[in-house]
Amino acid sequence: MSADDIYQFEAQSIDGKSVALPAFKGKVLLILNVASKCGHTKQYAALEAMYRKYQPQGLEILGFPCNQFGGQEPGDDSQIREFCTVKFGVTFPLFAKVKVNGPEAHPLFPFLKERALGEEDRKPIKWNFTKFLVSRKGEVRKRFLSRQTPAEIEAEIVAELSR
């Protein structure tokens, strides 16, 4: 582990268990902030399909509920888990609700923004479903905007899986 990779962090799962990110070492990660009452919430279905398709090749999708954008994730962790499971059949890892911007942000998100490649990528997250692609070595490869659908970024994920 080094200060240059994501394996220095841990987070609380949506079920209240501590998860050290080294558990995902050697996997390609798509890390994103999610919300249940957002115009982009329908991306859950495509994310789950992508997860089922590419998880055997080493993809992990890590969803972090966040209520910082328009109050679009008002529920508690158990309500969020139930919504994602019942409405979208989500099986990829979900984590406890976090903040992604500001002084109370989960430390993983400032790290992701700081390590993203473009100058624009280092700015605060603007909305729900902002996605970060992370290599098998824990290096931040790219930041995707909320409006970029899983289908639109699939080729880049596949390319990262093949490295």
**Residues carrying an active site annotation:** 38
143 SS3 class: strand
Distance CA 110, CA 134 (A): 14
Rounded to whole angstroms, the Cα distance separating 97 from 74 reads 10
Tokens 């558990």 sit on residue: 23
- Helices 77-88, 43-54: inter-axial angle, 10-degree rounding: 70
Q: Find out whether 59 and 158 touch, Cβ atoms under 8 Å.
A: no
